[in-house]
């Protein structure tokens, strides 16, 4: 048997490769747009910038060093010049495809980066492989604009895997629904009337605000937003704002909230501060034909009936008063339980006469209408 030539022995010591094979190469030289690798074959491997990275502007000398080992996929054994064409990106994609298949079969939760927002949904990259998430499966609520997801890392599961048709579908919606269900159940297992919670304003209406408590929404009615009078919730809150609320009532899935915290109740010392006979000052907050509502302090309004404005006859409060005007008056009636205070400016006039405060001097029907209006407003 004849001895093998040096060339034959060299060929025998080198492994054989074929297109599609995954190999590991050691970097022997790096240029800005090309990498040469020793893959243990008779020819070195060449990898271009586009086969290394999706970024066509990257300078390879800044990300790769001589001696680095890189996993590659063989694209061609001979490029016509005796060199092997390699691709790091395709190696990653092949590996990622196997990972996607495994994730599909086991319903594993994956995390990927949104690399493209298209009309029908999101293209997400996971270790070099692409997954498409249809717009209908991006969220458990309808979202018209998906551009906010560009560049974000999001979680999802694979619901369809067909690499032959290049069809790999992800679903984020079911994860969000499952998370919300878990949060919902946890919230209702813990929540009790009287709890103080911090929530986020989710939606504003003319009658109140819906507050996200983390698992369910609670209604903060306009009448419960403050001890004082609120004209429009949108002037007090904005969507996304964090607010501290008190759980007032739980009725099945409905949660009623309030911001009327007991320790902030302006009426708690009213019997002392606003005792009958006390002279107080306040600001005219609003007026009706029957009287003016005067804010004595935040959360406490008193009624100044038209008949108690002056010793002279007054047809309607707006004839002599203006909204925002500071006035001084005497408290002639106090009902703490009903949160009602009645004032009289006339009682401050000299000389004071008993008949000024006599019931016969007041239009009973008008007072009743004014008080009914106050209750409706509150």
Phi-psi category of 365—alpha, beta or left, where left has phi over 0 and alpha has psi -120 to 50?
A: alpha
> In tens digits, what is the pLDDT along the chain, a chain of 378 residues?
445 555 544 454 456 788 888 899 999 999 999 999 999 888 889 999 999 988 889 999 999 999 999 999 999 988 777 789 999 988 888 888 888 999 999 999 999 999 999 989 999 988 778 899 999 999 988 888 999 999 999 999 999 999 888 899 999 999 999 999 999 999 999 999 999 999 999 999 999 999 999 989 999 999 999 887 788 899 889 999 999 999 999 999 999 999 999 888 888 888 888 999 999 999 999 999 999 999 998 888 999 999 999 988 999 999 999 999 999 999 999 998 888 999 999 998 755 555 444 433 444 444 445 554 554 554
pLDDT at 254: 94
Whole-number Å distance between alpha carbons of 212 and 217: 4
pLDDT at 183: 92
- Backbone φ and ψ for 98, nearest 5 degrees, come out as -65, -40
pLDDT at 41: 85
Strand partners, 65: none
């Amino acid at each position: 048997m004849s001895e093998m030539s040096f060339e034959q022995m060299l060929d025998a010591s080198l492994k054989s490769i074929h297109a599609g094979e995954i190999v590991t190469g050691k970097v022997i030289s790096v240029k800005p747009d090309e990498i040469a690798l020793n893959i243990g074959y008779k020819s070195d491997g060449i990898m271009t910038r586009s086969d290394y990275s999706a970024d066509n502007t990257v300078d390879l000398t800044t990300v790769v060093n001589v001696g680095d080992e890189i996993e590659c996929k063989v694209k061609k054994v001979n490029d016509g010049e005796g060199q092997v064409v390699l691709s790091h990106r395709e190696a990653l994609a092949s590996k990622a495809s196997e990972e996607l298949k495994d994730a599909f079969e086991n319903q594993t939760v994956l995390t990927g980066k949104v690399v493209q927002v298209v009309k029908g949904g999101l293209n997400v990259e996971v270790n070099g492989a692409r997954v498409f998430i249809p717009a209908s499966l991006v969220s458990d609520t309808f979202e018209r604009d998906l551009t906010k997801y560009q560049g974000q890392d999001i979680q999802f599961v694979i619901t369809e895997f067909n690499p032959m048709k290049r069809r790999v579908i992800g679903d984020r919606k079911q994860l969000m629904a499952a998370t919300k269900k878990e949060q919902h159940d946890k919230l209702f297992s813990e929540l009790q009337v009287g709890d103080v919670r911090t929530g986020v304003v989710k939606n504003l209406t003319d009658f109140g605000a819906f507050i996200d408590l983390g698992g369910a929404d609670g209604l903060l009615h306009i009448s419960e937003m403050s001890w004082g009078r609120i004209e429009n919730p949108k002037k007090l809150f904005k969507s996304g704002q964090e607010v501290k609320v008190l759980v007032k009532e739980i009725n099945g899935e409905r949660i009623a909230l309030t911001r009327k915290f007991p320790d902030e109740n302006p009426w708690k010392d009213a019997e002392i501060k606003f005792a009958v006979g006390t002279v107080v000052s306040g600001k005219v907050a609003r007026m009706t034909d029957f009287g003016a509502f005067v804010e004595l302090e935040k959360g406490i309004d008193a009624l100044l009936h038209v008949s108690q404005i002056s010793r002279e006859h007054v047809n309607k409060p707006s004839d002599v008063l203006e909204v925002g005007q500071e006035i001084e008056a005497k408290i002639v009636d106090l009902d703490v339980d009903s949160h009602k205070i009645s004032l009289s400016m006339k009682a401050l006039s000299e000389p004071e006469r008993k008949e000024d405060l006599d019931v016969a001097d007041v239009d009973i029907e008008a007072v009743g209408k004014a008080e009914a209006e106050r209750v409706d407003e509150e």
